[in-house]
Structures are given as structure tokens and as C-alpha cells.
Amino acid sequence: MKPLRVIIAAYMVVITVAFVWTKAASVWISIQISFANEQTMIFSSMVDQASEASQQMPPNVPAIISCLDYTRSYYPPGTKQTVGSPSSQVVERTRSLAERQMIGMLRQATNKDFGDDAEDWIIEYTQTQPSVSN
């Protein structure tokens, strides 16, 4: 009878560990999805703000650059998502699309083309603007 109790106890431990592991993994996935949702909402908000700035007369290029820079630097890969995870892939794909949209706005607003890399636009714009001193 004693070996049967040991087997049943071991089985219960395995079942409990599996349950706890599954529950913890589910909670972690839920957190990652929540982070991804928040990040992609920020990118969408930056595109909306850049769009409003691009429709001003004349277009508010510094505001578009600011939105582009914020999108590029907002929780870079590996800081809020596990690199390579499905949620990270969604976030980075959304970031890339948002950056491309804002670069398109900048091309149209400035009649210039500094390429497809957000950092190139940010660097070029900040280097070509006169510094303001008070």
C-alpha cells in the first residue's frame, strides 16, 4: 500500500507543478500582450500627431521629427518584449510601419529624401537646423 501512496503523491506533485507552470506562462503571455498593445497604441498616437503636424501650413516639420524620434526610441527591442517573441515581432513591425508613414510625411513636407531609416532623418534634420539661443 505504501508504494501506491508514493506514486499517487508523486503524480499529484507533477500535476500541481504542471498546473502552476501553465498558469505562470499564461500570466506572462497576458503581460506581454498588454505591453504590446500599449506600445502599438503609442506608435499609432505618434502617427496621428505627425499627421496633424504635416497638415499645418506650413507643415510643422520639427513636430513630425519629434514624433518619429519618440517612436524610434520608445522601449527599443529587448526592453519591454522578449526579442524574437511573437509579441515583439508585432511591436517591431508596427514600429517600422509607423516610422515609414512619418518618413513619407517628412518627404512630402520637406521635398527632401534622407532614406528609409528614421535615425538618418532625425540626425540630418537636427544637424541642418540652426540652433536657437536665448
Q: Residues 46-61: pLDDT tens digits?
A: 999 999 999 999 999 9
Place of cell 509607423: 98
Contact of 33 with 87, CB cutoff 8 Å: yes
Place of cell 541642418: 128
pLDDT at 1: 63
Helix locations, the chain, DSSP H? 2-54, 61-73, 86-110, 118-128
The pLDDT of residue 63 is above 60: yes
pLDDT at 80: 83
Specify the amino acid at residue 46: M
Grid cell for residue 33: 500582450
Domain ranges of the chain: 39-128
| Residue with more model confidence, 48 or 20 | 48
The closest alpha carbon to 78, from 87, 69, 67, 70, belongs to 87
What is the arithmetic mean of pLDDT over 108-125? 93
What's the CA gap between 23 and 15, in Å, rounded?
Answer: 12
pLDDT at 130: 57
Grid cell for residue 119: 535615425
Q: What phi and psi values does residue 6 have, to the nearest 5 degrees?
A: -65, -40
The pLDDT of residue 128 is above 50: yes
132: pLDDT confidence band, cut at 50, 70 and 90?
very low
